[in-house]
Amino acid sequence: MSCHNLQFCQANMENHKLPKVIVTDNGPEFTSRAMLAWADENNIRLHFVAPVKLTQNAFIESFNGKFRDECLNQNWFLSIDDARKKVDTWRRDYNGFRPHSFQLLFLYLE
């Protein structure tokens, strides 16, 4: 799991009730030793959707559609560095300035 993801999870642990289960795909950021250890230490069960059943995780499908429509289709990337900057700008907006279901779930659990 990337450092950013673990920091996000840790920050939410300090401010909100953590979920009992996290549903995710089998991507390397969710199957890493760090993620597995973090989930185990916090008594969180990880549920991995079947690789051919991506519709089992509608949240990631929704995110992928938003990312494609709002970032990838709206920008012309001139270089890898340019792509990183534009994607990071979009990510900061997506994660920090608008509520979405994952953040609302933490508010609901309080």
Q: What is the pLDDT of residue 7?
A: 67
Query: Which tokens hold the place of 103?
Result: 């953040």
CB atoms within 10 A of CB 35: 22
pLDDT in tens, the chain (110 residues): 444 566 666 666 666 677 788 877 777 666 778 888 888 988 988 888 777 665 666 767 778 888 889 999 999 999 999 999 999 999 888 887 776 554 444 444 44
Residue in the structure block whose two tokens are 């079947």: 50
Q: What is the pTM of this model?
A: 0.45
Given a contact cutoff of 8 angstroms between Cβ atoms, the answer to whether 60 and 25 are in contact is: yes
Handedness of CA 100, 11, 54, 48 (dihedral sign): negative
Q: How much is the pLDDT for 77? A: 93
Which domains does the chain show, CATH number per domain?
Answer: 1-53 (3.30.420.10), 57-110 (no CATH)
